[in-house]
Amino acid sequence: MTAKIYTIISGKGGTGSTTTVINIGAALAGFAKKTLIIDMDLGMPTVGLMLGLETKTTLHDVLSGDADIKDAIYDGPSNLKILPGSISLHSFLNTDPDKLAGLVESVKDDFEFIIIDSPTGISKNSMAAISLADELIQLMNPDIASLAGAMKVKAISDSLEKQFFGIIVNRTGVVKNELSSERIETALGLKILEILPEDPNIRNSVAFKAPVVVKYPGSPVSVGFNRLSAEISGIKVPAVETFVEEKNSKKKGKRKLLSINRK
């Protein structure tokens, strides 16, 4: 068993990358897939905080040479494993991102999937997270600023000759005049994997420090996360008509965006 590594990348903040990583990981674990999520946002790690983990040892300790990687991996919901980062400034200043590749290699044989939370934008840290991926998943919101950021990150990723699994369009249904799925796919040259609605259950699940797919499994966004994770793992799940699609069925443009992945 050697893990398939997916890095979730985003060119702009506010796309919900950490929430996406947590819920993809939890959904894969719920499918009985041995899954590890790694918080590689070394400057602003929040995976541990969002899941309410009490962390004595973190990825930062491992990168600074003060701990073994297996001591920094924690149990999460549905047997999900989590490698969180530290919010300590001292820990951040003493980390060596160049050690990331060796650390990931040391645990690859213990898992089927590794999902990496990369910092937004372009930096040495994000480049390291990108370089470790077998495939990249581009996360964006359906607006022009998010698309511009996505195009820049994709250009950098292409220069590293990395493969893309596709695009997740997140937080749809928030503003008018959202970008169409055709415009997004044409601009990035990638297929849309899933289109996720803005869902209040996300905020509620964060308050409970639990993945939305665990706390509110029947919510529209949970349906999307599970469908996406099933595609990643090769599991077939029945098509589900979500509340968001029903609500917008009379709005042709919105309906088209939200149902692209069901062609």
CATH number of the domain where residue 47 is located? 3.40.50.300
User: Is 244 within the bounds of a domain?
Assistant: no
Whether residue 16 is annotated as binding a ligand: the answer is yes
Whether residue 15 is annotated as binding a ligand: the answer is yes
User: Is 222 within the bounds of a domain?
Assistant: yes
Mean pLDDT is lowest, of 56-60, 106-110, 122-126, for 122-126
Whether residue 13 is annotated as binding a ligand: the answer is yes
User: Is 250 within the bounds of a domain?
Assistant: no
pLDDT tens across 183-238, in order? 999 999 999 999 999 999 999 999 999 999 999 999 999 999 999 999 999 987 66
Whether residue 76 is annotated as binding a ligand: the answer is no
User: Is 207 within the bounds of a domain?
Assistant: yes
Whether residue 18 is annotated as binding a ligand: the answer is yes
User: Is 70 within the bounds of a domain?
Assistant: yes
Split into its structural domains, the chain has a count of 1
In sequence order, what are the residues at sequence separation of 6 or more whose Cβ sits closer than 8 angstroms to the Cβ of residue 34?
Answer: 1, 79, 81, 110, 111, 112, 113
- pTM, whole model, 2 decimals? 0.89
pLDDT confidence of residue 242: 41
User: Domain range for residue 164?
Assistant: 2-231
User: Is 240 within the bounds of a domain?
Assistant: no
User: Is 254 within the bounds of a domain?
Assistant: no
Whether residue 57 is annotated as binding a ligand: the answer is no
User: Do 167 and 140 form a contact (C-beta atoms < 8 A)?
Assistant: yes
Whether residue 12 is annotated as binding a ligand: the answer is yes
pLDDT tens across 65-108, in order? 899 999 999 999 999 999 999 988 667 777 878 889 999 999 99
